[in-house]
Chains A and B, each alone.
Chain A
Amino acid sequence: MKIVVLLKQVPDTADERKLDLDTGLQDRDASDLVIDEINERALELALRSKDADKSTEVVVLSMGPDSASTSVRKALSIGADAGVHVVDDGLAGADAARTAAVLAAALKNVGFDVVIAGNEATDGRGGVVPAMIAEHLSLPLLGNLVSAELSADGVRAERQVSAGTQSISAPLPALLTVTESFDEARFPNFKGILSAKKKKITVLTLADLDVPAPSGRTTMVNTTERPARAAGVKLTDDGTSATALVEFLASNRLI
């Protein structure tokens, strides 16, 4: 079985994340860049399949600038067998539709039985790319899962919905997205780090992929900096503070 894990490099959530107000894009220099935690969980799911069946091949696929190669390398240290890095100046600031089209083309290029992605990235929070990829590739989409079992016959999984838990299944090939219910990735193993140096990262550019030119793209109309935090409201108790507090909470729709 060949599993491809989609991996996005994002600003560390522990740091303060900044938007470049001129371009409307994230300021990559403002914080440490790391593998999106949700993708690490996706990778862990793939590696557990590999633990159970050594013949499983785990490939990580990332689209991003040159810096993303460190995240691909880290995934190899954690245990992935190979990496694919799509990097092209023409992809700077690519929107969700463009990203999905390129990743779908890259997936065709790489080949797979299962694709595992995070349900949404911690920076963009769009959560639409996996569904778009599934559409491009005509794959069954098993999204927002809380658990999953992979086998050569197919995927059995569970999804939490407001009314309860859905049990769903699909034959392979299929695309899964995981939520935070999945376990965090294991720590890189000392020998894994050394052997990762010998693993291959394939670099692809747009010229290597069969992607039609986009018919349009999202354009950033306006950006505004988050307003500074305003001072809190202080209620002085002159006998009416209970009423004032209720009014305050009600006017802010907190009760």
Chain B
Amino acid sequence: MNDYRPPLDDINFALEHVIGYPEIAELPGFEHADLESVTELLAECGGFASEAMAPTNRQGDIQGSHLQSDGTVQTPDGFKKLYKQYVEAGWGTVPLPEEYGGGGFPRTVGVAIQELMTSANMAFSLCPLLTQGAIEALLHYGDDELKDRYLPKMVTGEWTGTMNLTEPQAGSDVGALTTRAVRREDGTYAITGQKIFITFGDHDMAEQIVHLVLARTPGAPEGTRGISCFIVPKFLVNEDGSLGERNGVETVSLEKKMGIHGSPTCVLSYEDATGYLIGEENRGMRIMFVMMNSARLGVGVQGLGVAERAYQQSLAYAQERQQGLAIGATGSSSPIIDFPDVRRMLLTQRAHIAALRYLMLLDGSYVDRSTHDPDPAARARAEEIVGLLTPICKSFGTDLGNELTSLALQIHGGMGFIEETGAAQHMRDVRITAIYEGTNGIQAADLVGRKLGVRGGASIMEFLSTMKEIDTALSAAGEDFASIRKELATQFDALEEATRWMLANGQTDPNSVLAGSTPYLRMWGLCTGAWMLARAALAAQTAGDATLAKNQLVLARFYAEQLLPQSGSLLGAATAGSADLFALDAAMLAG
């Protein structure tokens, strides 16, 4: 079972009724992106994902990408043809600026498209995702000459992009990087150093690869304040835009990985390579921060996308697989979907996936408000909310990506552990998402370290108040919503208590706040997820579709009653401080 069915009805409902897409389409500059057009586009995009992309997912895993003896990288069978089709179909261009050949659609639509692509083939989809990151850096900080030279072909996808941050000694601490950039007389820079973990650092799907490289100029300040950002093309670009000689960047090796085998993860060596400065010297980290929100939301969407694919497979298997006899059943055996514990695993997946989808699209909609709302105050507030929601989307989305793909595998029983079944690939593929683009621990540190203190804590408390406003509508919605209302109120109170504790202790005892950051972020994930499902259930009551109304109500109630209570149970861990974590030294930890 490797079929993928794009969840178009779920996405369309989310856009129209849950996150208020019609309002986004009314923002100046998005008039052409009305809901009807978006629905039609997503239907075709879903067709592309399921018909062209999804069938390549398994082969990509089995075969993987390989470094050839001539130093080139060969992607799995089918990837090259697929990439050509992808570029021709233009799906990567939809949310990019029209000025450089994009569709000028909202990021919200980009999020929906990315979910479809990732579900179909996560390893393949990484190539366009990284390209998009490089495009955004250039858009915000590149000068016109660089933009005109590189952006049009990167937007179409004819040229792909990479992000070169990590070095062996510089992972989470980017400031420790040592790659050197020495200015030449002609204004270009000579780049020398080694970068690791470069996704699609080399491949055979496009004629040109544009590397975005972080490096240090001679005499630059220590740490992150002394980092500059450069464009280093695989092939130098001639004045007329044609490709010239090969630049001094080589693939040393490809990593052997647990998952995403189709995506070549390269060790790149730069030897006196020609680089072009983006923006000014020592501003590299600022440029990285621009992309960070965008890329982190993108990785959260990967957690959602792979979980959805694994869920579909486990739901199909649960209906096929006959074992034992369910209570009250007749005949010789029952499909395992008839057993309560299997139902629990299915409903847990379904409810979490729905909540994640709403959260990702909500974050996307605030990205659009932060860039397109005519009211400066609304833009500023939207940016605060993006700052808050993004670490939650990244961390909670990918933690759940791991947990839910594991549940999907569990439903397959022993066959799930057998590679032939294909359930294991999703677990192996999604594992990295909790690690890269800032580990989930870094996300939690970002939430308590940078986002919590915005406007002295007022920003986060305002968001919590907004969430609490749902109580009025839930109260008016009657008995069906009573348990949702009660549980949300209880859990919002616990979240508020944890937040006040974090705010009170952040300045005086930052280590204790960091110690509780991961359980605290999970509380936020569970509470925002339950809140979005409640919003969806309320909206579905008036959408004129009884089946939909029931579906959304059950998901919201199951989540509120059976998944959300975990949030309150984390209050203790979130506010326990760091004393016990450090009470045993390394020798005592060894036992």
Contacts and interface: CB of A to CB of B under 8 A. Distances in A.
Contact of A193 (B44, B52, B88): B44
A197 B45 CA distance: 16
B52 A187 contact: yes
A77 B103 CA distance: 16
Contacts of A186: 85, 88-89
Contacts of B91: 190
A223 interface: no
A200 B103 CA distance: 22
A40 B17 CA distance: 35
Contact of A190 (B51, B85, B89): B89
B90 A77 contact: no
Interface in A173-231: 186-191, 193-194, 197
Nearest to B3: A14
Given A77-B44, A193-B44, A188 B37 contact: no
B85 A187 contact: yes
Interface string B568-584: 00000000000000000
B103 to A, nearest CB: 6
Contacts of A188: 44, 47, 89
A187 B37 contact: no
Given A187-B47, A187-B52, A193 B85 contact: no
A193 B40 contact: yes
Interface string A76-87: 010000000000
Nearest to A190: B90
Interface string B73-114: 000000000000100111101100000000100000000000
Interface string B364-407: 00000000000000000000000000000000000000000000
Contacts of A189: 88-90
Name which of A189, A190, A193 has the most chain B CB atoms within 10 A of its CB.
A190
Interface in B216-270: none
B554 interface: no
Contacts of B44: 77, 187-188, 190, 193
A197 B37 contact: yes
Nearest to A73: B40
B368 to A, nearest CB: 18
Interface residues of A, number: 10
Residue from B37, B48, B88, B94 whose CB has the most chain A CB atoms within 10 Å = B88
Contacts of B292: none
Contact of B89 (A187, A194, A197): A187
Contacts of B103: 190-191, 194
B442 interface: no
Contacts of A187: 44, 47-48, 51-52, 85, 88-89
Nearest to B86: A187
A186 B47 CA distance: 12
Contacts of A193: 40-41, 44
Contacts of A190: 41, 44-45, 89-91, 93-94, 103
A73 to B, nearest CB: 9
Contacts of A194: 32, 37, 41, 103
A188 B49 CA distance: 12
B522 to A, nearest CB: 37
Interface string B34-65: 00010011001101100110000000000000
Interface in B191-205: none
Nearest to A196: B40
Nearest to A184: B51
A50 B103 CA distance: 24
Contacts of B40: 193
B125 to A, nearest CB: 16
A183 to B, nearest CB: 12
A91 B582 CA distance: 82
Interface string B400-416: 00000000000000000
A189 B47 CA distance: 12
A19 B268 CA distance: 61
B461 to A, nearest CB: 41
A197 B91 CA distance: 18
Contacts of B37: 194, 197
A184 to B, nearest CB: 10
Given A187-B51, A191-B103, A197-B37, 6 more contacts: A187-B48, A187-B85, A189-B90, A191-B90, A193-B44, A194-B41
Interface of A: 77, 186-191, 193-194, 197
23 contacts: A77-B44, A186-B89, A187-B44, A187-B47, A187-B52, A187-B88, A187-B89, A188-B44, A189-B88, A189-B89, A189-B90, A190-B41, A190-B44, A190-B45, A190-B90, A190-B94, A190-B103, A191-B90, A193-B40, A193-B41, A194-B32, A194-B103, A197-B37
Q: Which 9 interchain pairs have the tightest Cβ spacing?
A: A190-B90, A187-B89, A188-B44, A187-B48, A189-B90, A189-B89, A193-B44, A190-B94, A193-B41
